[in-house]
A and B are shown apart, each in its own frame.
Chain A
């Protein structure tokens, strides 16, 4: 039973990170129907910037909490800048182009960001400094670390903040209006270009924090870490119904749980024929099963042809 609770805790932690990254995908998709494949790389850049800042500040004797905060504080604007530049320089010229063109652009950006990162921060995995002392707490027979608690708390806070932003502010209303119909929103005085740029920037800020969280959780930062994480987060967004903000959160948490429980139990369920190396298969199978039964994801509305 405690294994079960342990896997739930691990799954929730992982799922919270997926959810935060998935929000970036889903917000952009909701507004301009673009899969921003480079979003995962923004997460990676966030982790890398934080890595450098922690490395620079760690010997200064500041309290560890302050160092991590400062690192995150540097990662967020760096990623926001990248998010803005990406939208302004690469995606905006492609508005109204055939649907697959921006996808290839996204792949190009992804390659560029990865290799710039490789140039700046070596091609080898970097040990992410864990300057905050890890502490474990007992929870119903399972353990939960302070890092996990922090990840969960920060993710929930950010998601709450985002929901408030989207559903309670003027800017959020403008975002939702643009998502529904850019032309009409424009007639109502919404500057679509600004709203879209803003969406990219918010998504990038979330990604930066996610990058710091995931790097501190695993203790590793690598220039390819973004693509795998981005892929999972994209799955999460699709699982929940892409373009739907609560859907991305639900999808992220579900995917995290499925992965953790799958990894924990797949061996027992199949008599050890399949080991935990089939963890990813498990996640994708669930994704495919959900989409076959509900073609627009769990919370997605049935949209007609918008291709």
Chain B
């Protein structure tokens, strides 16, 4: 009897490790598979991973703490510009990335607190509009701070940003080790995967920590949370700061990977996109959010490459611009997913229970 149970545990553990090995192998081999289709796809994957960072960061604010933030891209922008200013010919500074990324995270966190302090008393939709305004303000400043002193170089943006370098390893150069071609994007991919694992680990640990449970309490009922001895002011500020710092790190990496930043990349639509990832995937559930981010990053790109040729095949000519169809499909997908799975594709267990209860 006991022997059977141990056997089953053993086989389950083997199954678990088998699964882990499979996932690890897929993640390791993925860039080479993608590179054989085209290096563009490795770049798209890298951007998708950055969006996973952003979505996880926003999930802390919206999903865990229940604070609706429509200006999240501002923190992404702050991180990106911190990196761009400290590692480009613009000010002729070339600091190493492992110094700048923490600075970027800290500055973004500071901006998060800056946004949080005046908005502590606001709830729900009022908070949404203030955060939206904050995002726009940051973007407008980035766009216009080229005079009287040229800080951000205005709409032209900052170019020739340094890539990551570690020792002799330059992340932008192509190298060949034992027959395998490691192009720049592939190297960034491995770095991003490492950071991604760390980010996921932090998020999982946060959710079940004292802080994570305090956020959940504030989200469900702020008054009751305060009565339970939670310092709601600090806990909300912490949510803003931590969410923002993820955005800051993602921004710094974005800067280095693209080599160029301009205010164009940080418009309201980006904030809305990240929010869609969080809600569509399943607010509050880390795995759901990752799923949402991956889907919303890849589906439009896949459509970009398929819609045109498919039309050519079917009708022999372009009937509707591919861009239009792509966006129409995207719009309908958002509407339909929300209509059939209002809790998101992969809702958190708590929310699933709530949804089930509400049904009469």
On A, residues with C-beta under 8 Å from B are 29, 33, 35, 90, 93-94, 96-105, 107-112, 114-116, 118-119, 231, 234-235, 238, 242, 273-275, 277-278, 280-281, 284-285, 287-288, 291-292, 295-297, 305-307
Flag if A280 contacts B136 (CB, 8 Å). Answer: yes
Q: Interface size class for chain B? A: 35 or more
Flag if A296 contacts B126 (CB, 8 Å). Answer: yes
Flag if B122 contacts A295 (CB, 8 Å). Answer: yes
A296 — nearest CB in chain B belongs to which residue? Answer: B126
B272 — nearest CB in chain A belongs to which residue? Answer: A107
| A205–B115 alpha-carbon span in the complex (Å) | 37
| A274–B283 alpha-carbon span in the complex (Å) | 40
Flag if A107 contacts B334 (CB, 8 Å). Answer: yes
- B330 within 8 Å of A (CB atoms): yes
| A100–B118 alpha-carbon span in the complex (Å) | 23
Contact with A along B66-78 (1 / 0, CB 8 A): 1010000000000
| A296–B122 alpha-carbon span in the complex (Å) | 8
- B18 within 8 Å of A (CB atoms): no
| A107–B330 alpha-carbon span in the complex (Å) | 10
Between A and B, 14 residue pairs with Cβ closer than 8 Å are A97-B338, A98-B343, A99-B124, A101-B342, A105-B334, A107-B276, A108-B331, A109-B331, A111-B327, A111-B328, A111-B334, A235-B133, A291-B122, A296-B126
List the A side residues contacting B279 at CB < 8 Å: 100-101, 103-104
Contact with A along B120-151 (1 / 0, CB 8 A): 01111110111011101100110110001000
Most buried by B among A94, A103, A273, A296: A103
List the B side residues contacting A242 at CB < 8 Å: 125-126
A-B contact count (CB 8 A): 133
Contact of A104 among B123, B141, B280 (CB under 8 A): B280
The smallest C-beta distance from B233 to any residue of chain A, in angstroms, reads 15
The 10 closest A-B pairs by CB, nearest first: A108-B334, A97-B342, A111-B331, A284-B133, A112-B331, A108-B335, A101-B342, A115-B327, A108-B331, A238-B129
Flag if A100 contacts B283 (CB, 8 Å). Answer: yes
The smallest C-beta distance from B350 to any residue of chain A, in angstroms, reads 12
Flag if A96 contacts B125 (CB, 8 Å). Answer: no
| Interface contacts beyond A107-B276, A278-B144, A291-B119: sample of 6 additional A-B pairs, CB < 8 Å, sorted by A | A97-B343, A108-B334, A111-B331, A235-B129, A238-B129, A292-B118
The smallest C-beta distance from A124 to any residue of chain B, in angstroms, reads 13
Flag if A109 contacts B335 (CB, 8 Å). Answer: yes
The smallest C-beta distance from B199 to any residue of chain A, in angstroms, reads 23
The smallest C-beta distance from B47 to any residue of chain A, in angstroms, reads 20
- B194 within 8 Å of A (CB atoms): no
| A305–B144 alpha-carbon span in the complex (Å) | 39
Residues of B13-56 whose CB lies within 8 A of A: none
Flag if A238 contacts B125 (CB, 8 Å). Answer: yes
Given known pairs A100-B279, A108-B332, A288-B118, the reply for A234 and B129 (CB within 8 Å) is yes
| A166–B119 alpha-carbon span in the complex (Å) | 32
Contact of A101 among B268, B328, B338 (CB under 8 A): B338
- B355 within 8 Å of A (CB atoms): yes
Flag if A297 contacts B126 (CB, 8 Å). Answer: yes
List the A side residues contacting B137 at CB < 8 Å: 281, 284-285
A97 — nearest CB in chain B belongs to which residue? Answer: B342
List the B side residues contacting A280 at CB < 8 Å: 136, 140
Flag if A108 contacts B333 (CB, 8 Å). Answer: yes
A103 — nearest CB in chain B belongs to which residue? Answer: B279
| A35–B130 alpha-carbon span in the complex (Å) | 14
A114 — nearest CB in chain B belongs to which residue? Answer: B327
Residues of B69-124 whose CB lies within 8 A of A: 118-119, 121-124
B223 — nearest CB in chain A belongs to which residue? Answer: A305
Flag if A98 contacts B342 (CB, 8 Å). Answer: yes
B135 — nearest CB in chain A belongs to which residue? Answer: A284
B117 — nearest CB in chain A belongs to which residue? Answer: A292
Flag if B128 contacts A35 (CB, 8 Å). Answer: yes
- B320 within 8 Å of A (CB atoms): yes
Given known pairs A108-B338, A109-B331, A278-B140, the reply for A295 and B125 (CB within 8 Å) is no
Given known pairs A115-B331, A287-B133, the reply for A307 and B123 (CB within 8 Å) is yes
Given known pairs A108-B338, A115-B328, the reply for A287 and B130 (CB within 8 Å) is yes
| A230–B143 alpha-carbon span in the complex (Å) | 22
- B228 within 8 Å of A (CB atoms): no
Given known pairs A284-B136, A284-B137, the reply for A238 and B126 (CB within 8 Å) is yes
| A90–B331 alpha-carbon span in the complex (Å) | 12
- B160 within 8 Å of A (CB atoms): no
- B180 within 8 Å of A (CB atoms): no
Most buried by B among A100, A305, A306: A100
- B358 within 8 Å of A (CB atoms): yes
List the A side residues contacting B320 at CB < 8 Å: 119
The smallest C-beta distance from A63 to any residue of chain B, in angstroms, reads 37
List the A side residues contacting B351 at CB < 8 Å: 98
| A27–B338 alpha-carbon span in the complex (Å) | 23
List the B side residues contacting A116 at CB < 8 Å: 328
List the B side residues contacting A90 at CB < 8 Å: 335, 339
Flag if A288 contacts B338 (CB, 8 Å). Answer: no
A303 — nearest CB in chain B belongs to which residue? Answer: B123
| A242–B127 alpha-carbon span in the complex (Å) | 12
The smallest C-beta distance from A175 to any residue of chain B, in angstroms, reads 20
Flag if A305 contacts B334 (CB, 8 Å). Answer: no
